[in-house]
Amino acid sequence: MRSVFERNPKKTITVIVFLLLLVMDFSLSLIYSKIRENKERVGLGIPHPNYHHDFIKNGYSAESGRLGNYILYTNSLGFKDKSNRKIHQETNKRRIVFIGDSFTEGILLNYEDTFVGLIDSAVLSQDIEVLNAGRVSYSPIIYWRKVKYLIENVRLKFDELVVFIDIADIDDEASYYDLSDDGNVIFQTDHASDGKLEPRDYGVSWLISNQNIENIRIFLRKNFIVLSSGINWLHDILFRDTIEVQNESDLNDIDNKDVDLLETTHNKNTWDIVLTDRRANWTIDDKYYQEYGVRGKPRMIKYMNKLVKLTEENDIGLTVVVYPWPSQIWYEDLNSIHVQIWQDWCVNNNVRFINLFPSFIEVNRSEEQKLKLISKYYVPYDLHFNKEGNKHIADEFLKQYFNISN
């Protein structure tokens, strides 16, 4: 009597080939993960137990993005830097620490092309050391908690702190971060189980909440790169991305006057998505301010109050800097509520304030002139500054902070 394999030769061969491909995929994935682990840590991002997330220390990564290839180095503190270098706790130089979010980190660019890197280079001969503690998705709760950690745990000595407050910080405070009972920064969704805060739901909560599916996804991505890529490719064909769904929802919410000004086609190769971003337009549209600004503003103030007290106790000078997103340029939001909030706060707390809005925004420009300006200073169809934008920020800061003109 013939065996089941002999009765189904084609199916048997198919199964054997599939198993061999899985073995090859697993072997190649193992080799690749070891090479990547040993040679570079892509992204260099890690969680942090006290202030949520950071870079690894003394890291190196070859990165690529919309502006091309670039190299990411971190120093011994885990700060983005020009190289892997040792940062001592104390120095005889005047030491200035910058902190902010992705704009301050300088994503998509080599350190030397970021505004912190350009400022660093400009003052190097003046016996001044510049350090960049900025990281993507930071906001006031993390600015305070990270600086507290640097002072109390790392014992880092520095003379001045410069905080670049971002327009999206208000949403980060309202929607994403909170302080745990033991004083560490956590995601607000960590409290969802006890009903304290509700997590965001973009229509895929059934998938996110299913830990078994999530564990399978992580396992496949780690151990079967080819299979995982194939599944992702199939997913992209069958389902639209969650972020795309959210962006489309935001685009559909814009007023008719906005439709007249912008291209209404949902196209990533135009400025329409950036200029209607809900996280930027709380300064322009009260609808968004009511959505998250009302909650986010007092939380920002709370943690900036903690920060100013911390710097005063440690004899550290504090400066706050504000800058626009493309939306503020487009809508000529010169006297922005974002500017007013931090200008008033700085006056009340005797903190130095630098407003970079006037260097970008000029009223009564034509739409063509505004688009040219946005294209000059920002990454194409993105909210972040390109090389020219970083240079502009650096030049303005040097002029106002150090009285240096380039």
Using alpha carbons, select from 389, 370, 368 the residue that is nearest to residue 379.
389
- Residue 76 backbone phi and psi in degrees, to 5: -70, -10
Residue 303, C-beta contacts closer than 8 angstroms, at least 6 positions apart? 140, 141, 143, 144, 145, 173
Amino acid at 399: K
Which residues lie below 8 Å from residue 299, measured CB to CB, with a gap of 6+?
Answer: 140, 141, 173, 174
**Residue 324 neighbours by CB distance under 10 Å:** 26
What does each of the 406 residues of the chain score in pLDDT, given as a tens digit?
566 666 667 777 787 777 787 788 777 777 766 555 444 445 699 999 999 999 999 999 999 888 999 999 999 999 999 999 999 999 999 999 999 999 999 999 999 999 999 999 999 999 999 999 999 999 999 999 999 999 999 999 999 999 999 999 999 999 999 999 999 999 986 444 444 433 433 233 333 334 455 457 657 666 777 777 777 667 556 544 443 444 444 434 433 334 344 433 334 558 998 999 999 999 999 999 999 999 999 999 999 999 999 999 999 999 999 999 999 999 999 999 999 999 999 999 999 999 999 999 999 999 999 999 999 999 999 999 999 999 999 999 999 999 987 6
Residue 278, classed as helix, strand or coil, is coil
Burial profile 45-74: b = 16 or more Cβ within 10 angstroms, e = fewer: beebebbbebbeebbebebeeebeebebbb
Instruction: Determine the CATH number of domain 45-178+279-402.
Output: 3.40.50.1110
Amino acid at 296: G
Map out the domains of the chain as residue ranges: 4-39, 45-178+279-402
